[in-house]
Chains A and B, each alone.
Chain A
Amino acid sequence: SNPFEVKVNRQKFDILGRKTKNDVGLPGVSRSKAIKKRNQTLLKEYKEREKTNVFKDKRFGEYNTKITPEEKMIRRFTLERQQNYGKKNIYNLNEDEELTHYGQSLAEIEKLNDIVDSDSDTEERGTLSAELTAAHFGGGGGLLRKKVSSEQQDEEEEKPKSRKELIEEMIAKSKQEKQERQTRRESALELTEKLDKDWKEIQTLIARKTPKSERKDKEVEKPKPDEYDMIVRELGFEMKAKPSERLKTEEELAKEEQARLQKLEADRLRRMRGIDEEANKKRPSHMSADDLADGFILDKDDRRLLSYKDGKINIENEEEGEEEGEEEEEEEGEEEDNENEEEGQEESASEDEEDGAADGHSDLESDLESEGETAENKGEKKHKANENESQNVEKLDPKREAAKSELPYTFAVPESYETFKSLLAGRTIEQQLIILERIQKCNHPSLAVGNKAKLEKLFGFLLEYIGELATMDLPELRTIDKLVLPLYNLCQMFPEAASDSIKFILRDAAHDLEEVIEVKGRATFPGLDTLIYLKIVSLLFPTSDFWHPVVTPAFMYMSQLLTKCRITTLQDVIKGLFICCLFLEYVSLSRRFVPELINFLLGVLHISLPKNQAQGYTVVHPFTPVGKNLELLLVCDKEDLKSWEKQNVPLSMVTRLKEISRTEINHTRLSCLALCFDLIKKCAALYESLPSFHEIMHPVRILLAQHMPVNEYPEKMQEWYHSALKELENKIKHYTPMICEKKKPVPLKQYTPKIVKVLEFGRKQASSKKEQERKQLIQRHKRELKGAIREIRKDNQYLARMQLSEIMERDAARKRKVKELLGSLATQEGEWKAMKRKKWKN
Chain B
Amino acid sequence: QLPTGLYKKVLVILHDSVLPYMNDPTLMMDFLTVAYGIGGAISLLALNGLFILIHQHNLEYPDFYKKLYSLLDPSIYHVKYRARFFHLTDLFLSSSHLPAYLVAAFIKRLARLALTAPPEALLMIIPFICNLFRRHPACRVLLHRPGGPADMSEDPYIMEEEEPSESRALQSSLWEIQSLQNHYHPDVAKAAAVLNQSLSEMEDDISGLLELSASELFDKEVKKKAVDVPLEFEQVRGLFGKKNDIFAEHFSLD
Q: Is the CB of A649 within 8 A of B250?
A: yes
The stretch among A169-177, A281-289, A657-665 that forms the contact with chain B is A281-289
Residue B236 lies at the interface, judged by CB distance under 8 Å to chain A: yes
Residue B162 lies at the interface, judged by CB distance under 8 Å to chain A: no
Cα distance A737–B218 in the bound complex, in angstroms: 35
The secondary-structure label for the interface of chain B is: loop
Q: Is the CB of A564 within 8 A of B179?
A: no
* Candidate in A507, A598, A671 with the most chain B CB atoms within 10 angstroms: A507
**How many interface residues does chain B have, given as a range?**
35 or more
Least Cβ–Cβ distance between A111 and chain B, in angstroms: 67
Among A690-704, those with CB < 8 Å from B are 690-696
Cα distance A491–B218 in the bound complex, in angstroms: 23
Least Cβ–Cβ distance between B203 and chain A, in angstroms: 18
Complex interface: chain B residues within 8 A of A310 (CB): none
Least Cβ–Cβ distance between B8 and chain A, in angstroms: 14
Residue B73 lies at the interface, judged by CB distance under 8 Å to chain A: yes
Q: Is the CB of B222 within 8 A of A650?
A: no
The secondary-structure label for the interface of chain A is: helix
Complex interface: chain A residues within 8 A of B226 (CB): 496, 499, 548-549
Cα distance A492–B235 in the bound complex, in angstroms: 10
* Candidate in B112, B144, B214, B235 with the most chain A CB atoms within 10 angstroms: B214
Given A481-B239, A556-B218, A559-B214, A734 and B228 touching (CB < 8 A)?
no
Residue A547 lies at the interface, judged by CB distance under 8 Å to chain B: yes
Cα distance A253–B236 in the bound complex, in angstroms: 20
Q: Name the contact of A598 in the complex, choosing from B116, B250, B254 (C-beta under 8 A).
A: B116
The stretch among B10-18, B84-92, B170-178 that forms the contact with chain A is B170-178
Cα distance A94–B217 in the bound complex, in angstroms: 101
Residue B97 lies at the interface, judged by CB distance under 8 Å to chain A: no
Residue A717 lies at the interface, judged by CB distance under 8 Å to chain B: no
Complex interface: chain A residues within 8 A of B149 (CB): 737
Cα distance A555–B74 in the bound complex, in angstroms: 22
Given A556-B214, A593-B180, A675-B250, A737 and B145 touching (CB < 8 A)?
yes
Complex interface: chain B residues within 8 A of A694 (CB): 155
Q: Is the CB of B143 within 8 A of A738?
A: yes
The stretch among A129-137, A397-405, A584-592, A707-715 that forms the contact with chain B is A584-592
* Candidate in B75, B150, B186, B239 with the most chain A CB atoms within 10 angstroms: B239
How many A-B pairs fall under 8 Å by CB? 258
Least Cβ–Cβ distance between B236 and chain A, in angstroms: 4
- Closest residue of chain B to A555 (Cβ to Cβ) is B184
Q: Name the contact of B73 in the complex, choosing from A274, A289, A496, A618 (C-beta under 8 A).
A: A618
Residue B81 lies at the interface, judged by CB distance under 8 Å to chain A: no
Cα distance A267–B174 in the bound complex, in angstroms: 32
Q: Is the CB of B231 within 8 A of A542?
A: yes
The stretch among B28-36, B61-69, B241-249 that forms the contact with chain A is B241-249
Residue B185 lies at the interface, judged by CB distance under 8 Å to chain A: yes
Q: Is the CB of B186 within 8 A of A547?
A: yes
- Binary contact track A558-602/B, C-beta < 8 Å → 1, others 0: 011001100000000000011001001111101111111011000
Q: Which residues of A contact B (CB under 8 A)?
A: 261, 264, 267-268, 271, 274, 281, 287-291, 305, 477-478, 480-482, 484-485, 487-488, 491-492, 495-496, 498-499, 503, 506-507, 510-511, 513-514, 532, 535-536, 538-542, 545-550, 552-553, 555-557, 559-560, 563-564, 577-578, 581, 584-588, 590-596, 598-599, 618, 620-621, 647-652, 671, 675, 678-679, 682, 690-696, 733-741, 743
Known: A532-B239, A563-B78. 17 other contacts (CB 8 A): A290-B231, A488-B236, A495-B231, A549-B225, A563-B118, A581-B246, A587-B184, A594-B184, A598-B116, A618-B74, A620-B75, A648-B249, A648-B251, A650-B252, A675-B250, A679-B246, A695-B155
